[in-house]
């Protein structure tokens, strides 16, 4: 019986330039390549429909696989929680689901290698085809894919194995060629040019090179193009923000190579690429000097990269807001976090982090109140003595006893493996579990809060508190109280902070 609800699977391998690096490619070239891709898919569909008409099939759905490799594998998580290398092909998997469910009753493709170049994918298709009697019909324009009998299935397996070997050979040769080019400092070839250099010869494009140097100088706080008013707002040790630079380039209508507007990501990309310093990188690592001239001296480029890396480390508000992880929303139970709002820094039940967004409190007010309460408690030696006793006797003693038991168990397991009483897999799995407990016990024994408290006792408590880092202050607070519930704002207090909003937990 001829299929009346057949699936036509069309696929072409093609990498979009904008998927590689945001600021690469020649303006208009990506559009031309996408047009070629559409034509390739169109030709496969036309040929498939023509074959279906000759065979008397009816095509119910066309499934295109856009820029999809049937050979390259990625690491994915399987349903059982383990990880494995698999080809990622949503279109192919949808075709299998339609065939397995009975929604489709036939498969049409241009060629065998359009359907599978990985033996595992072919076996999955064979399983579905053989799940019905008679077998689900499968046809291809070139005649290379038929699964109607055991002989054709065997031939398909052989051809996919050969195609897979061919892809592996190609990948190996391409990789070796790129390694050789990288070692010689030459451009990799293929793809499209990066910002600042020509595609042919990799020579600097002076107009773009000037922009790259300008961006670098602005990041370092050394640009001579600022007005006096602008310069007064720039801290030389920090430099100008990437968003500010991007906005200025957009205002001046400075073009990118792709035609897209400048953004902080593209600004960072063009100024931190090793190529602008005349360096050759391969797989994300600098392997040596390049044959093309640098736009920025290596020393300057290293300073720019270090400056931007330092900024990335300093933007985390949780490092400064020491009550993050201490204050809890009394409405939804999520922890408040430091947040920069229009009214200044506050602790907020942040909706972007899954919070309700209904509880917020001024950071300076609540920190001053908690600091007052902490210093008041730390002025009472009896409180500190009790805390030290609990940390040193109850919790730490239990942790030490558990640590001794776990370390003895590790030695016992090692002996069992040496005597071949357990397999290596069993030994490694058991060791992983016990070592995790050992790590937790040691961390508890050497916890920081008791040390911080003892350090405060050695001198003036107030002076010692002032020298603590934000993380150490948080440790001290959590050693005194489990945390605080923050109640909603009582409008009868107006804009004043009400200390009664803080309710100690426990």
Q: What is the pTM of this model?
A: 0.44
Residue 335 lies in a domain: no
Mark whether 408 and 479 lie in a shared domain. Answer: yes
Predicted local confidence at residue 451, as pLDDT: 60
Residue 322 lies in a domain: no
Mark whether 32 and 168 lie in a shared domain. Answer: yes
Helical segments of 118-224, H only: 119-129, 150-183, 206-219
Mark whether 304 and 381 lie in a shared domain. Answer: no
Helical segments of 194-344, H only: 206-219, 228-233, 242-251, 264-272, 298-314
Please write the tens of the pLDDT for every residue from 281-326: 877 677 788 888 999 999 899 889 888 876 654 444 444 678 988 9
Mark whether 116 and 243 lie in a shared domain. Answer: no
Mark whether 302 and 399 lie in a shared domain. Answer: no
Predicted local confidence at residue 157, as pLDDT: 94
Mark whether 367 and 469 lie in a shared domain. Answer: yes
Predicted local confidence at residue 315, as pLDDT: 42
Maximum distance among all Cα pairs of the chain, rounded to whole angstroms: 95
Mark whether 165 and 240 lie in a shared domain. Answer: no
CATH number for the domain harbouring residue 268: 3.90.1750.20
Residue 197 lies in a domain: no
The 8-class DSSP code of residue 220 comes to: T
Mark whether 136 and 67 lie in a shared domain. Answer: yes
Domain that holds residue 244: 206-314
Residue 352 lies in a domain: no
Predicted local confidence at residue 316, as pLDDT: 43
Mark whether 453 and 486 lie in a shared domain. Answer: yes
Per DSSP, the residues of 17-73 read GGGT-TTBS-TTHHHHHHHHHHHHHHHHHHHHHHHHHHHT--EEEEEEETT--SS--
Among the candidates 131, 165, 181, a domain finishes at: 181
Residues lower than pLDDT 70 in the chain: 14-38, 78-81, 182, 189-192, 201, 284, 310-320, 341-343, 381-401, 403, 439-459, 506
Residue 199 lies in a domain: no
Mark whether 171 and 32 lie in a shared domain. Answer: yes
Among the candidates 181, 216, 247, a domain finishes at: 181
Structure tokens at 80: 């059982």
Predicted local confidence at residue 141, as pLDDT: 94
Predicted local confidence at residue 400, as pLDDT: 59
If one counts the domains in the chain, the total is: 3
User: Across 357-491, where does the E strand assignment appear?
Assistant: 360-362, 484-486
Q: Which residues of 188-220 are buried (b: 16+ CB within 10 A; e: fewer)?
A: eeeebbbbbbebeebebbeebbebbbbbbbbbb
Predicted local confidence at residue 412, as pLDDT: 83
Which residue in this structure is represented by tokens 């804009």? 495
Mark whether 224 and 310 lie in a shared domain. Answer: yes
Per DSSP, the residues of 328-383 read EETTT-PBPEEEEETTEEEEE--GGGT--S--EEEHHHHHHHHHHHHHHHHT-HHH
Mark whether 427 and 299 lie in a shared domain. Answer: no
CATH number for the domain harbouring residue 44: 3.40.50.1390
Spatial contact of 254 and 196, defined as CB atoms under 8 Å apart: no
Residue 55 lies in a domain: yes
- Tell how strand 337-341 and strand 344-348 pair up: antiparallel
Residue 324 lies in a domain: no
Among the candidates 314, 347, 375, a domain finishes at: 314
Which residue in this structure is represented by tokens 């592996």? 168
Residue 122 lies in a domain: yes
């Amino acid at each position: 019986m001829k299929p009346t609800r057949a699936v036509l699977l069309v696929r072409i391998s093609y990498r979009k330039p904008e998927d590689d690096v945001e600021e690469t490619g020649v303006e208009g070239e990506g559009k031309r390549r996408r047009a070629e891709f559409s034509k390739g898919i169109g030709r496969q569909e036309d040929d498939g429909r023509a074959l279906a008409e000759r065979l008397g099939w009816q095509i119910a759905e066309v499934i295109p696989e856009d820029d999809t490799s049937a050979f390259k594998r990625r690491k994915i998580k399987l349903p059982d929680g383990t990880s494995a290398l698999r080809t990622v092909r949503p279109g192919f998997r949808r075709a299998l689901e339609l065939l397995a469910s009975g929604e489709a009753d036939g498969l049409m493709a241009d060629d065998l290698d359009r359907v599978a170049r990985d033996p595992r994918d072919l076996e999955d298709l064979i399983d579905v085809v053989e799940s019905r009697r008679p077998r689900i019909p499968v046809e291809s324009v070139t005649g290379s894919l038929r699964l109607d009998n055991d002989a054709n299935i065997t031939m398909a397996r052989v051809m996919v194995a050969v195609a897979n070997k061919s892809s592996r050979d190609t990948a190996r040769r391409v990789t070796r060629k790129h390694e050789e080019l990288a070692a010689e400092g030459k451009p990799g070839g293929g793809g499209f040019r990066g910002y600042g250099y020509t595609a042919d010869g990799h020579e600097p494009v002076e107009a773009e090179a000037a922009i790259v140097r300008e961006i670098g100088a602005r990041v370092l706080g050394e640009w001579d193009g600022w007005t006096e008013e602008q310069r007064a707002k720039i801290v030389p040790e920090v430099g100008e923000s990437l968003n500010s630079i991007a906005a200025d380039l957009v205002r001046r209508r400075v073009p990118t190579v792709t035609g897209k507007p400048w953004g902080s990501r593209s600004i960072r990309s063009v100024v931190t690429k090793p190529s602008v310093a005349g360096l050759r990188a391969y797989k994300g690592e600098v392997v040596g000097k390049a044959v093309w001239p640098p736009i920025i001296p290596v020393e300057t480029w290293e300073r720019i990269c270090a400056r931007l890396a330092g900024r990335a480390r300093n933007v985390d508000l949780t490092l400064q807001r020491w009550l993050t992880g201490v204050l809890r929303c009394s409405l939804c139970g999520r922890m408040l976090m430091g947040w920069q709002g229009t009214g200044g820094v506050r602790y907020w039940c942040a909706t972007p982090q899954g919070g309700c967004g209904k509880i917020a409190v001024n950071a300076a007010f609540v920190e001053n109140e908690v600091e007052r309460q902490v210093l008041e408690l730390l002025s009472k030696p009896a409180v500190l003595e009790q805390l030290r006793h609990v940390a040193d006797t109850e919790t730490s003693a239990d942790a030490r006893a558990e640590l001794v038991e776990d370390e003895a168990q590790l030695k016992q397991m090692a002996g069992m493996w040496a005597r071949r009483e357990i397999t290596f897999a069993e030994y490694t799995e058991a060791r992983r579990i016990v070592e995790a407990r050992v790590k937790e016990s040691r961390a508890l024994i050497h916890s920081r809060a008791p040390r911080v408290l003892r350090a405060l006792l050695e001198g003036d408590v107030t002076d010692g508190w002032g020298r603590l880092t934000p993380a150490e202050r948080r440790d001290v607070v959590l050693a005194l109280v489990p945390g605080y519930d923050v109640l909603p704002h009582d409008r009868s207090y107006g804009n004043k902070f009400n200390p009664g909003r803080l309710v100690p937990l426990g």
